[in-house]
Amino acid sequence: KQEVTQIPAALSVPEGENLVLNCSFTDSAIYNLQWFRQDPGKGLTSLLLIQSSQREQTSGRLNASLDKSSGRSTLYIAASQPGDSATYLCAVIDDYKLSFGAGTTVTVRA
């Protein structure tokens, strides 16, 4: 059974600092990995999808890396802003489903 872990559970940084969010998974036989953002009381917004053949994916200030062999993915958010405050979830796609971590709740202080 796939186990997905996100550390730390919470993070607070001053505006402008770079964010580093970690995701680890136990079974490296995955298809893809997807990062999501969740605002309080809202659904999940897809940020990036990294295919298993890729090592990284970029979108604007966001960059996600994937190392299947070590079972790790990292989401980097450059020059954080207060609007980046949210919970960030990673999901591993294997077999037919997404398996989620518990998320990292980020607070960016103005």
Partner 1 sequence: EAGVAQSPRYKIIEKRQSVAFWCNPISGHATLYWYQQILGQGPKLLIQFQNNGVVDDSQLPKDRFSAERLKGVDSTLKIQPAKLEDSAVYLCASSLQEVGTEAFFGQGTRLTVV
* Least distance CB 100 / partner 1 (angstroms): 3
Q: How far is CA 94 from CA 9, 26, 30, 97, 98, in A?
A: 24, 12, 5, 6, 7
User: 14 or 22, CB closer to partner 1?
Assistant: 22
* Least distance CB 81 / partner 1 (angstroms): 23
User: 2 or 80, CB closer to partner 1?
Assistant: 2
Q: How far is CA 64 from CA 19, 42, 61, 110, in A?
A: 11, 23, 10, 25
19, 80 contact by CB (below 8 A): yes
* Least distance CB 63 / partner 1 (angstroms): 17
User: 12 or 46, CB closer to partner 1?
Assistant: 46
Helix (H, G, I), strand (E, B) or coil at 84: helix
Q: Using only C-alpha atoms, what is the Rg of the chain?
A: 13
* Least distance CB 42 / partner 1 (angstroms): 6
Terminal-to-terminal C-alpha distance of the chain: 41
User: 17 or 44, CB closer to partner 1?
Assistant: 44
Which residues contact partner 1 (rule: CB under 8 A)? 4, 31-32, 34, 36, 41-46, 49, 51-52, 89, 91, 93, 95-103
